[in-house]
Chain A
């Protein structure tokens, strides 16, 4: 509760009277100070009661026209203020400090009730109620979203609800949302003042607006041009445990607890049997999102990162719907940029979504664009990298300096390894930093492009260790070239090369490799090479 200038003046008056009373040893000034102090405290108490009544009777709702908009999109926001009243009888407005006319004629006042009321109200300046919407700071609105009562109720839009003794007033404005992410409104701020005191409190609902990045309208996720039901259906656990659904009935083993014997089955089959149940199915998912320089390739709003982000968001939504634990690892040129251990709960999903929305292509720390991982460089370099001679020599100099039989025997096994190069790759290094911290069954979803396939192979190998499943969502560079295709046939050839490597990845145990691309571009490339398309298909 704040004091207005008028109230501070009265406080100063009390202090002055009390001090003067002490200075001049005049008790009558103390009596004056006592009366004024009591008067101000009584006003404060009276204002408190009125404020609590208003808080009870007030209903404020903030409504968003479209809860999901694209970046820089617009949506209408409405602020509805409703005041309810228990009694149908309405009285005079005003406050108690107005000079009164004790000698006034009450009968005359009664005869001219309405007129008197209006006159009184014209003089009344008390109880101004201001309500302002709690728009998130990132929002740009065409005009402030606030209303002031009772002035607002003089406007034609004010609606008196029949039979409810409630008045509703709505104000609306158009808001622009330039920042991607989830933005939650603050509660509406209500400010009430009677001219002597001012009280501010918050009330009302808190809607959320999700601002999605402008991306491609249709994203293809699939294999060789065929769509893949990434999030469809349920996933079998293939494990037995203490769930609810029956998995199998098997004979009793001496190591089983006697309490697990299914006596009905035992009686029916004449041998002790134990019933096994499906373990409760929750899939622990780790999203590994690559947002290095190369992921920025593509037309505006249709970059590789935009498409992969959409896939990651879809997986996040599916995990949230199923209540599955979810973790996130994002990797930039310099290494890991975000690491959220696998966890469950609304806050975790919100955090993951927020990070995904805010993810941007990241170069190296020194501002350079980082190593060029441009189109097809990975595919072209694959055989060369596989040889990896010089790097290996740096990694294991002793192996090459040593001419012993042992070294000669080992050398061929290391010939196709490139440990230093792999270890220097942010994606591999990032995943390695979390893989040991997430024990147990983890479904790793790697979202990257095809510009560093050797690194990707090593990373997938790391991810699928310990019987873990891996999904690789690959953005084929050929489908993200800005502008049109120079040659559909050449693009098709490049796509076919990509497809060969994607299938190679997909042939690995427990690995699913999918392509992620704008659907129209993929269909263009596929139609361009339709005569050779059978070669693409497995």
Chain B
């Protein structure tokens, strides 16, 4: 078990070209606590105790299905709790808390630093671009245009990454050596 698991760890490290693992230092812990605080505070202002319950339910979803479904759950839950959602500051605080938690989660073990860095960079860039375009579309054309723009940009982003992978991997080439044996 020990040797096998150790090898697994090594392979994992090779696969991800890792460097020294990031320590789960107190700064990350502080960030995570801050994010959690923002999330709880925002949800309290939006929905009170029911809002806190929604966050707890979302934490369960996070554990079972991962952060994507937890994010969806928390937004749908809060909308159900408080259909008006008039407090922009509370919503902003809640969203900021969510972003911080997702970011901290990406650079915390068992994730490797290389993977975490890439994820974090990709997440923040995607958030900035999609958010900017979404805001512009929302301001100029309303809900449906915003939805269409967001989905189009999302699809385009995914396709571009896919194409980049295809082009890069196809350029790797094939060794034409015969690999002949000893006969």
- A residues whose Cβ falls under 8 Å from a Cβ of B: 1, 6, 10, 13-22, 24-46, 48-55, 57, 61-68, 75-76, 83-87, 89-100, 102-104, 106, 109-110, 114, 116-118, 120-124, 126-127, 129, 149-150, 153-154, 158, 167, 185, 187, 192, 199, 201-208
Could you say which residues of chain B place their CB within 8 Å of the CB of A67?
178, 180-181, 183
The listed residue (B6, B131, B181) touching A34 by CB distance below 8 A is B131
Q: Which chain B residues border A16 with CB–CB below 8 Å?
A: 72
| B56 beta carbon closer than 8 Å to chain A | no
B1-44 contacts to A, CB under 8 A, are 1-21, 23-26, 28-29, 31-33, 35-36
New contact pairs (12) apart from A63-B181, A93-B9, CB-CB < 8 Å: A1-B162, A1-B166, A33-B150, A35-B95, A85-B10, A87-B17, A89-B18, A90-B13, A96-B105, A102-B33, A149-B11, A158-B7
Question: B181 contacts A203, CB within 8 Å?
Answer: no
How many angstroms between the C-alpha atoms of A185 and B164 in the bound complex? Answer: 27
> CB < 8 Å: which of A34, A96, A126, A167 contacts B134?
A34
| Beta-carbon contact of B14 and A167 below 8 Å | yes
B89 within 8 A of A: no
Verify B112–A91 contact, CB threshold 8 A: yes
Bound complex: CA of A94 vs CA of B16, how far in Å? 10
Task: Select one of A52, A97, A206 contacting B179, CB under 8 A.
Answer: A206
Chain B count of residues within 8 A CB distance of the other chain:
106
A38 to B120, CA, bound (A): 10
Residues of B that sit less than 8 Å from A by CB: 1-21, 23-26, 28-29, 31-33, 35-36, 59, 62-63, 66-69, 71-72, 74-76, 78-79, 85, 91, 95, 98-99, 101-102, 104-116, 118-123, 126-127, 130-131, 134, 138, 143-144, 146-147, 150-151, 154, 157-158, 161-162, 164-166, 168-170, 172, 174-183
B183 touching A65, Cβ below 8 Å: yes
Distance to closest chain A CB from B52 (angstroms): 17
Q: A30-B134, A102-B32 are in contact. Are A120 and B109 (CB under 8 A)?
A: yes
User: B101: which A residues are within 8 A, CB to CB?
Assistant: 102
A154 to B119, CA, bound (A): 29
- Bound form: Cα–Cα A51–B108 in Å: 21
Q: How far is the CA of A51 from the CA of B17 in the complex (A)?
A: 10
Q: Which residue of B lies closest to A40 (CB)?
A: B68
Return the contact of A99 from the options B13, B63, B177 (Cβ within 8 A).
B63
Determine if A124 and B12 form an interchain contact, defined as CB atoms under 8 angstroms apart: yes
Q: Least Cβ distance of B50 to chain A in Å?
A: 16
Contact B147–A31 (Cβ < 8 Å): no
- Check B147–A150 contact: CB distance below 8 A: no
Q: A61 CA to B68 CA in the complex, in Å?
A: 39
- B13 touching A85, Cβ below 8 Å: yes
Question: Is A38 touching B127 in the complex (CB atoms < 8 A)?
Answer: yes
Q: Determine if B181 and A64 form an interchain contact, defined as CB atoms under 8 angstroms apart.
A: yes
Is B69 a contact of A13 with CB atoms below 8 Å?
yes
Partner of B21, one of A54, A86, A92: A92
Using known A-B contacts A22-B146, A33-B150, A44-B158, determine if residue A205 contacts B176 with beta carbons closer than 8 Å: yes
- Contact check: which of B105, B122, B168, B177 meets A46 at CB < 8 Å? B122
Closest chain B CB from A210 CB (angstroms): 10
Could you say which of A1, A17, A35, A96 contacts B98, with CB atoms under 8 Å apart? Answer: A35
Please measure, in the bound complex, the distance between the C-alpha atom of A21 and the C-alpha atom of B147, giving whole angstroms. 8
| Pair A93/B12 contact, Cβ less than 8 Å | yes
A35 to B101 alpha-carbon distance, docked (Å)? 12
C-alpha gap A61/B102 in the complex (Å)? 40
